[in-house]
């Protein structure tokens, strides 16, 4: 099987080596010949160079490929994807050729591109997770669509992707550009889990006075059980690192958190679709808050430093709270995918989606089987639910900040305790006559039910 790859950045280069290793013949393009030469020498040192052809001209790439062609794009999301697509049209791609955008593109761009290029070539999308290491040895691949050409490359991607219990972490999860939507939500969950771990660290460090190294040991012990996850493992490792002078590595790092945008897209889409993912939104805003000092409104948002209180934490209870909150972060992401799939008629298969997250990706975790069991299972977890409630209360009482912990507790509480929505509905009707619905399903106004005192009105 022969495939072309455009873009030899960190992800492109590592995926290229993975593809060759799995037996594909690769024509690799980068406009910078030095990058191509670097890949070639890497492949040579691994004894795999005979299946690699480096080109720095798209026309040359097109001529070398057998038809129908299969081309993977690993270029930064945004305008560059369109630029490369139109360059490829000029270079001679044809209607039966498939071009798969493998970057972190916005799914809305994917839908637009499918339309834009429908008479020129088959445009397909696939989200890839796992960073450089994943790309090299087995990433999670969230693909979608039913474009002609998939049947040629799919069996190969199944081999190239990570696998879990002998099942590939490549899947076409649904129709259209839903693969990129799923990858976007993967990143939204990633933001929430990262922030959640940071908050547990915060509670242990500044709430109970433990050192980063002590927190690392706690995380490591959790990782030995069913709480094992990639993000917890790397956090434990990071917190264990010290300089030669014995200074903790994290204490040398500025607190402002960066973002490339996929978490923000997740929040935006959830808000637009009216699907509540408070933990995911809170994680995005937690990052924004760390950057407040650099915003034009900084003066209005700068407050004097306050002292905080220390607290006793039962480690077993904290562990259960962390487990329960983690499950709820995934469930919110899955609810968003389900809602978007219904709205766009993508027919996304949630089991296939979870299968792509089992290995190779950033949010892989041993407890994904528990996530897959769904809401009934989560409902049966009475002790962990209580642990989350108690832990959140204690954490907040320290005066420190716990946006994702609080949002997650609020999420489950809103869905499982008496609601106060009736008062807000009444307020809306009181001043705006927006109408209310009674328990019997009747739509009316407050004034239909009671006479309202004109003075208050």
The Cα 55–Cα 61 span in angstroms is 6
Distances (CA, A) of 233 to 217, 224, 242, 298: 11, 10, 17, 35
CA pair distance 437, 444, nearest whole angstrom: 6
**What are the structure tokens assigned to 307, written together?**
């002292």
**Shortest separation between residue 289's beta carbon and ligand 6PG, angstroms:** 15
CB atoms within 10 A of CB 125: 30
Using DSSP's 3-state secondary structure scheme, residue 123 falls into strand
Q: 401 among the known binding-site residues?
A: no
What is the nearest approach in angstroms of ligand 6PG to the Cβ of residue 385?
29
Looking up tokens 């899947």, which residue turns up?
A: 171
- 30, 8 in Cβ contact below 8 A? yes
Q: Which is nearer to ligand 6PG, 65 or 160 (CB)?
A: 160
Tokens standing for 281? 């939104």
Nearer to ligand 6PG, 9 or 131 (CB): 131
User: Would you call 190 a catalytic residue per the annotation?
Assistant: yes
For 38-85, list the strands marked E by DSSP: 52-55, 70-73
226 annotated to a ligand binding site: no
260 annotated as belonging to a binding site for a ligand = yes
Tokens 């903790």, residue located? 248
The closest residue (CB) to ligand 6PG is 129
Q: Which residue do the tokens 């547990």 mark?
A: 200
107 annotated among ligand-binding-site residues: no
Q: Do 325 and 279 contact (CB within 8 A), yes or no?
A: yes
Choice between 43 and 102, CB closer to ligand 6PG: 102
Q: Which residue in the list 13, 122, 147, 183 is annotated as catalytic?
A: 183
The distance of closest approach from Cβ of residue 264 to ligand 6PG in the complex, given in angstroms and rounded to an integer, is 8
Q: Is 206 annotated as a binding residue?
A: no
The pairing of beta strand 70-73 with beta strand 98-101: parallel
- Between strands 122-129 and 98-101, the pairing is parallel
**151 is a catalytic site residue:** no
Q: Which is nearer to ligand 6PG, 98 or 362 (CB)?
A: 362
Q: Which residue's CB is nearer to ligand 6PG, number 90 or number 133? A: 133
Set 147, 190, 319, 394: catalytic member: 190
Sign of the CA dihedral running 87, 88, 91, 92: negative
Is 92 annotated in a binding site? The answer is: no
- Quote the CA–CA distance of 437 and 445 in Å, as a whole number: 8
DSSP notation for 364-380: -BTTHHHHHTHHHHHHT
Identity of the residue, 192 or 406, whose beta carbon is nearer to ligand 6PG in the bound complex: 192
**Is the preceding peptide bond at 68 cis, omega within 30 degrees of 0?**
yes
Asked whether residue 228 is marked as a ligand-binding residue, the answer is no
Residue 119 assigned to a binding site:
no
CB of residue 454 vs ligand 6PG: minimum separation in angstroms?
54
**Phi, then psi, of 100 in degrees rounded to 5:** -110, 120
As measured in angstroms, the least distance from the Cβ of 81 to ligand 6PG is 15
Q: Which helix (H) or strand (E) holds 143?
A: strand 140-144
The answer to whether 428 is annotated as binding is yes
**Calpha distance 414→24 (Å, rounded):** 51
Which parts of this chain interact with ligand 6PG (CB under 6 A)? 104, 129-131, 187, 190, 258-260, 262-263, 361-362
Torsion of CA 404, 407, 412, 417, to 10 degrees: 150
Least spacing, CB of residue 168 vs ligand 6PG, in Å: 17
Residue 363 C-beta: closest distance to ligand 6PG, Å: 8
Q: Which is nearer to ligand 6PG, 104 or 341 (CB)?
A: 104
By annotation, the residues acting in catalysis are 183, 190
Q: Output the known binding site.
A: 104, 129-131, 186-187, 191, 260, 287, 428, 434
Q: Output the known binding site for substrate.
A: 104, 129-131, 186-187, 191, 260, 287, 428, 434
């Amino acid at each position: 099987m022969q495939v072309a790859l455009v873009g030899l950045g960190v992800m492109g280069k590592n995926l290229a080596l993975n593809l060759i290793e799995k037996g594909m013949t690769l024509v690799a393009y980068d406009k910078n010949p030095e990058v191509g030469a670097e890949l070639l020498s890497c492949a040579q040192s691994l004894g795999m160079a005979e299946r690699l052809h480096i080109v720095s001209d798209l026309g040359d790439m097109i001529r070398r490929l057998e038809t129908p062609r299969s081309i993977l794009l690993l270029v930064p999301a945004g305008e560059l994807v369109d630029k490369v697509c139109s360059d490829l049209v000029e270079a001679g791609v044809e209607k039966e050729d498939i071009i798969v955008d493998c970057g972190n593109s916005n799914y809305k761009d994917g839908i637009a591109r499918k339309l834009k290029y429908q008479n020129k070539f088959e445009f397909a999308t696939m989200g890839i997770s796992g960073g450089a290491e994943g790309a090299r040895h087995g990433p999670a691949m969230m693909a979608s669509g039913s474009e002609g050409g998939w049947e040629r490359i799919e069996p190969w991607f199944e081999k190239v992707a990570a696998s879990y219990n002998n099942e590939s972490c490549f899947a076409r999860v649904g129709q259209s550009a839903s693969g990129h939507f799923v990858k976007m939500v993967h990143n939204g969950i990633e933001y929430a889990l990262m922030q959640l771990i940071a908050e547990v660290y915060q509670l242990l460090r500044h709430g109970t006075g433990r050192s980063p190294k002590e927190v690392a040991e706690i995380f490591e012990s959790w990782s030995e059980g069913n709480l094992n996850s990639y993000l917890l493992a790397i956090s434990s490792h990071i917190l264990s690192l010290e300089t030669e002078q014995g200074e903790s590595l994290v204490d040398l790092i500025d607190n402002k958190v960066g973002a490339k945008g996929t978490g923000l897209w997740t929040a935006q889409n959830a808000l637009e679709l009216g699907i509540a993912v408070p933990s995911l939104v809170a994680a995005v805003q937690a990052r924004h808050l760390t950057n407040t000092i650099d915003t034009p409104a900084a003066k209005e948002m700068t407050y004097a430093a306050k002292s905080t209180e220390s607290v006793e934490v039962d480690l077993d209870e904290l562990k259960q709270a962390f487990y329960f909150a983690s499950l709820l972060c995934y469930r919110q992401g899955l609810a968003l995918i389900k809602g978007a799939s219904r709205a766009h008629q993508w027919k996304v298969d949630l089991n296939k989606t979870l299968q792509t997250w089992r290995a190779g990706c950033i949010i892989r975790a041993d407890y994904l089987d528990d996530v897959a069991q769904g809401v009934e299972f989560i409902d049966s977890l009475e002790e962990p639910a209580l642990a989350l409630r108690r832990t959140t209360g204690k954490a907040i009482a320290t005066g420190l900040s716990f946006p994702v912990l609080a949002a997650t507790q609020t999420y489950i509480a809103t869905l499982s305790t008496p609601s106060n929505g009736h008062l807000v509905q009444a307020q809306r009707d009181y001043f705006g006559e927006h109408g209310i619905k009674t328990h019997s399903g009747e739509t009316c106004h407050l004034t239909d039910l009671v006479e309202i005192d004109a003075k208050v009105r």
